[in-house]
Structure 1
Amino acid sequence: MITRKVYQPEHRSTGEQTREIPPRTVDLSQCPRQSENLQLNQVMPPSRSVSAPSQQQLAARQSLAKELPRFSGDPADWPIFISNYRYTTEACGFSDGENMLRLQRCLTGPALETVRSRLVLPAAVPQVIETLRMRFGRPELLINALLRKVREIPAPRSDRLEGLIDFGMAVQALCDHIEAANERAHLSNPSLLQELVAKLPADQRMMWAGYKRGFQHVDLKTFGDYMASVVQDATSVVSFEPEVKKNSARDRLKNKGFVNTHATDKPTNFSDSPKEPKESAKRSDCLHCNQDGHRVRECGAFKQLTVDDRWRRVRALQLCQNCLFNHGRRACRGRKTCDIEGCQFRHHPLLHSPSGPSKLIAPKVQVAENHTHHHSNASTLFRIIPVTVYGKDGSLNTFAFLDEGSDLTLVENDLATALGVNGTPHPLCLRWTSDTSRIENDSRQITIEIAGIGQTKLHKLVNVRTVSNLGLPRQSFQMKEAVRLYPHLKGIPVSSYQNVKPKILIGIDNLRLALPLKIREGDGAAPVAVKTRLGWCVYGPRGNSKRESYSFHVCKCSCDEDLQATVKEFFEIESAGVIPPETSLSKEDQRALTIIETTTKRRGNRFEKGLVWKEDHVEFPDSYPMALRRLECLERRMDRNPKLKENLHRQMREYEAKGYAHKAMPEELEAANPRRIWYLPVGAVVNPKKPGKIRMVWDAAAKVNGVSLNGALLKGPDQLSSLPGILFRFRLYCIAVSSDVKEMFHQLRIRDEDKISQLFLWRNNPSEKPTVYMMDVATFGSTCSPASAQFIKNRNAEQYAELHPEAAKAIVHDHYVDDYLASFSSVEEAAKVASDVRYIHGKAGFNLHNWRSNSSILLQKLGEIQQEAVKQLNLVEGGNTERVLVRD
C-alpha cells in the first residue's frame, strides 16, 4: 500500500487559541492513475469527489438561480439560506468548488468573518456549513429571534387589517419553528401567551375568548391556529398592492427628505446644494408639463406662470382649485382655506392673487425676489469619517458625512452599483435654496451595512436612498499638523486624509451612528474630537480668519398678457369634444406599434404575436423562488377550500387540452436564453358579482428585486373606439344586439422565443416537485395583451373588408375591447351583419357568445337560445339592468 501524508491547515477559533487538524493518511493503491494523482495532490489539497452533473441537473441550472441569498449571520435568515443551499446543491449537482465560490459571494458581516479563513479550500465547504450552523443556525437562536420579532411587532389595530395580518403570520411562523425544533416547552409559556393576546384589539380578544372555550388545554399553538383563521379572513378582503395609494402622513414621511445646505471652500453651485425639505414625488405624471416624478403643485414650470395663467391652466386641465388634483366629480377632501394675507377663499395658495381668485386679468406688475447666500472660505472641518460599506458584491472603503440636519440617509448611485446592491425604484424630490429643486427619478430604496475602518461590528442602514450625486464638499485633514496646533487632539486614533469626497450622507434616521460616545474639546475656536460607533472624527473651526463672498439670485416675473394667446386658448377649450383632438404617438407607443406589426403573423385560424418589450436586451433576476412561494400559498388556500381546489385543477386540465399551456420540455429550457426566463405566479380571483365563477390568473406584476414582467413590457397605444360613440350608436335604432368574445386573449398565440418569459409552476400533489409549465397564449395579466388583441382584431377585420364591409366596420368601430354593441333598423339587417361579424371573428379564432337582444326573432335567426326573461337595458336607479362592458 502506498501512502502519503497530506497536510490540511484548518483553524478553529476557541478564544485566543487555535489548533491544527492532524495530518491524514491517503491510500493511493486503490486509486487509478496513481502517479498523476500523486502529482496533482502535491500542488493542491484534495476535494470531495463529485461526479459530473446529470442531464436533469444541467437543465435545473438553467431554471434555478446559482446565487445564494445573502446571509450576514441573522438567525432569522438561516432557514432560507440553508434550505436554498441544500436544494440547489442537490438539484443542480454543484461541486464543493462551485459551492465555495457561491459562499464567498453570499456571506457577509459576522457570518463571513466567522469562516473567512476557511473559504479557500473546496474540501472545507462541509465544515464551513457546519460551523455556520453551530454559530447561527441552532434552533434556539432562531426561536429567540422570532420571539423578539413577535414582541417588537406593533400592536395591530382594528381599522388596519394589514397590521393584523403581519402579527398573525409572525405568530404562525413562531409556532411552526418551535414545533420543527422540538422545543415544545415554549408553546406552554402562559406569560408569552398572555403578552401576545394583550396586543390584540378589544374585539379580537373577545373573539379569542370565544374560540378557546372549545379547548381543554390552551397553549401558544392554539393561539397560532386562531390567528391563522383571522389571517385567512383578513387577506380575503385586503388588497396588498393597490393601484392607487393614499397620500397618508406615514407615506409623506417616507418620501420626503430634509437636507441641510453645506458651505464649501469655493462659491457653491446652488443647484447642487440641498437645503429645504420637499415631499417626494409620486409616480404619476405632471398634468401641466407631462413630466414624471412630480405633481402640478410641485411643478416649477407651473409656478413660473402668472396667477391668472395658473387659473386658466387649472380650468383647462379640469383640476380642483383647492388641491390641484383631477379627481373628477368626487368631492375634494381638502377643507383648508388659502390664508395668504388673510384670504378665506378655498383655493390653493398658488392661485392666490391680491385682486381675488376669480379675477382673470391682473394689473401689470414686475416682481423681483432676491436670495442672498453667504459663502465662507473659513478653515472648517465637517463631520467626515472613514467607513467600510458592505454589499452583495463585497465591500468598499469610502467616507461618510454625518449630518443631523438631514432626515434621510443618502448614498451615491455609483457606490451602490459597485456594491451590487439592488433596491426598489422610488423617485425622490429634493429642493434647495432659491426654490431650486431636483427630481431623482432613478432613486432606489436600498439596505446596506456599514462599519468603521478596521472594525468588525457591522451596522445596518435601512431605507437608504440613492442619488446621482450628493455634491458634498471635499475635505483634507492632516493629523500631525492638527496635533501641533491643538494639543488636546494628541492620542486620538484618527488617520490623515487628502481631498476626499464623501459618498454617503448619514442622516438623523440613523442618528445612533452619529451619537457622541466620548468628547475631547479644546479652548476657543478649536475643533473637537468625538468618538462615535463608527470611530473617531475631528470637526469644527480651525481658525478665526475668514474670507467671505456673496452671490445673488434674482427672479423676475412678468405679468404681460398676450391677448391673442388668451383668445386662442379660450376657443381650444370651447371646442373640446366638438373637434377630434390630434393624436400623436409617443416614442414608447411608436416602438410598441412597430413590434406588434412586425411580430404579428397569421397561423391558420389563429394569430401569433410577440411580447412588446421596452428594450431589446432584457435580463430578469431569478423568479423561481417567488413563484414557488406563491404556489405554496395557493395550495394552502386550496387545502382550506376543496371546491376551489377542484375548480382550479379542472381549469388546468382544460388549459392543457385547449393548447393554452403545456409542460415545458427539458430541451426547451436548456435551449432558452437564461436571461429571459421568468416564472409567473399562479393565482385565483372571484368576481363578487359572479361568486360561482373562479378565474385562474398569472400575476405579471409580481416583482423580484423590484423587477416584474409587466415592468419590462410596453402597454402599447390606445386603439379602443370611443366609448361614448359606441353607446350613442347602440341607442340609435330600435333593434339592439350585444355579444362578447370568449377568452379573447387566450386566442392569441405567443411566438416561441417569448414563451420562455411565461413559465409557471403547477403540481397535483403538494408533496411532489413542481412541474414547469409554459404558457403558449397571451395572459390576462400581461400589460401588452389589450393593445395586441385590439390590433389583431382590427387586422383580421380589414382582411375581410371587401367581402363583408359592414361587418368589418362594425368590428373596428362597434367593439369595446371584446364586447360587441350595435343597433339596427330591422331584424333582417341585424341578422346579416351579426352573422358576418361572427364569421369574420371565427377566422381569427374569436368565438362570440352571450348574445343578447331585445328581439327574440333576431336571436332565433342567429341560432341562439331564447331568453327566459326580458333583460332591461335602462339607467333608472334601482331598476333591473343587464350589465354590459363589464370585465368578467
Structure 2
Amino acid sequence: MEACELTGYMQNPMLLQELLEKLPTQLKLQWPMFPKDAKTPSMEFLSKWIYDIAEAASQVTSPLYHKKSGSLNHHTEAPKKQVKEIKCVVCNEPGHKIHSCPSFKAAPHQQKMSFLKNHKLCQQCLNRHHQKCQREKVCGIRGSRSKHHPLIHEMQPTLEAAKSSSLKGPAMVTNVHTPKGNHTQRSRESGSTYFSVIPIQFINKTKVTNTFAFLDEGSALTLIDNKIFKQLGLNGVPDPLYLKWTNDTTREENASERVTLMVANPHNGNHFHLEEVHSVDTLDLPVQSIDIRALAKEFPQLAGLPIASYTNARPSILIGTNNWNFVITLKIKEGAWHQPIASKTRLGWTLQSFTPSRATRANVSVRMCGCRDADAKMHNIIKQAFSLDATTAKPLSSLEETQALTRLESTTALKNGRFSLKFYYLIATQTH
C-alpha cells in the first residue's frame, strides 16, 4: 500500500476488521492486548504485529525438508476383456434377457412360477442372486402393491373391483371377470359410468379397420395396443417408454415403437393424422356398452345425436393430450345434474357421465351468503360511531361577554329598517 501510495487504505477500519476476522480465535484475543500508539490502529500496526508473531513462531519450530519426487508415465496395452454374450435362460436365444423374452411372456402363470423355482430366480427382479433383492418397486398391475415382477402377476378369475391400467386416467368402472370373458355391469340402481369411448377407423393404405378409441385428457401420450398395431402391419421407429402413474406405479415398454396413424370419423368420413403414437404391450382399457335408444328415451338431450350403440367394446387406442385436437370438446349437450353429457369432437360424438347409486346419491344444497348485507350494517355502525365522536366548534367567551350579548339582544330590536334601543336610567335618591 505504501509503494502504491494508497495511504487512504492504511487507516481503513473496515479493511482492518475484515483481516482480523480471518485470523484464528487465539490471535483475535491477542490483538486487543497488543500495545498501540493511536486510538485507531492502522494497517502498519497490524503488519508489525503479525510479523512479530511469525518471527516468534520461526524460532520454536524446525524447518521441514521435502524430498523431491517425480512420476514417469508409461503406456501398456491391457488385455482385452471378453464381453459375455447376453443369453436368455428361457429360450437360450442371444440378445435379450428373460424380461423381454416372448416365450416367457406368453407362458401361463403356473409355468412361469415353476420355471423361476427350478432355476432359482428371484420373483422380484427375475435374476439369480444370493442376497436380499434390492428392487423395491411394486407390481402396479390393477393396483397390486405386491413386490413381485409384473410379468408374473396372476389374473384371478373372480369378481373384483379392478382399477384401470390406463396411465394418468380417471378411475374406471367395476369389471366382472368370468371364464367366458370380461364385460361391464351397469344398472340404474348401482350407478353407471360412461367414458369418452368413440368408434373410429384405422386406415393403412387400402386397409380399413374398425375399432374404438378412448379420449383421455389426463394422459400425456397417445398409446395403441400392440395387438392392433401388428394387425395393421405397422412399422415404426423404436422408442422405449417409461410410464408412470399415481402412487409411483411405473411401467417399462422397452419394445415400444412410435408411428403416425391415419384415422377417420366413421360418421362423416373425415380423415386425420395422429402424431407420436406409441405402441404398448397391453393397453387393457375397460369394456363399455351403450344403448343409445334407451338412453335417448330417458334423457331427451341425447335424442337425434349421431351416437352409435355398441356392446362390450374395448378401446384399442388411448388418445392423449399430445393429440389435443381430437381430445378437446367442440360442442356439448347436457341435461340435469348427474345426467349423461354428449360431447362433440373431431372424431364424432361421445358420451360421458357418472351417475351415483341411489343409496349414495348426494343432495347438493346451495347456501346464499349474506356477506354484503353484513358489510353494509357494519359500515353504518362505524359511520355512526364516528359521527358521535365528532367535535363541533364552540365559541369561548367569558361570563361578562355572555351577559353583555344577552342584554344587547334583549334591548335591541329592528323596526322599519332601524334599530331601537332601550336605555335604563338609574335614579339616585338622596336621603337626608
TM-score by length of 1: 0.20
Higher relative contact order (CA 8 A, sep 6+): 2
Rg comparison, structure with higher value:
2
Name whichever structure is richer in helix by fraction. 1
TM-score by length of 2: 0.40
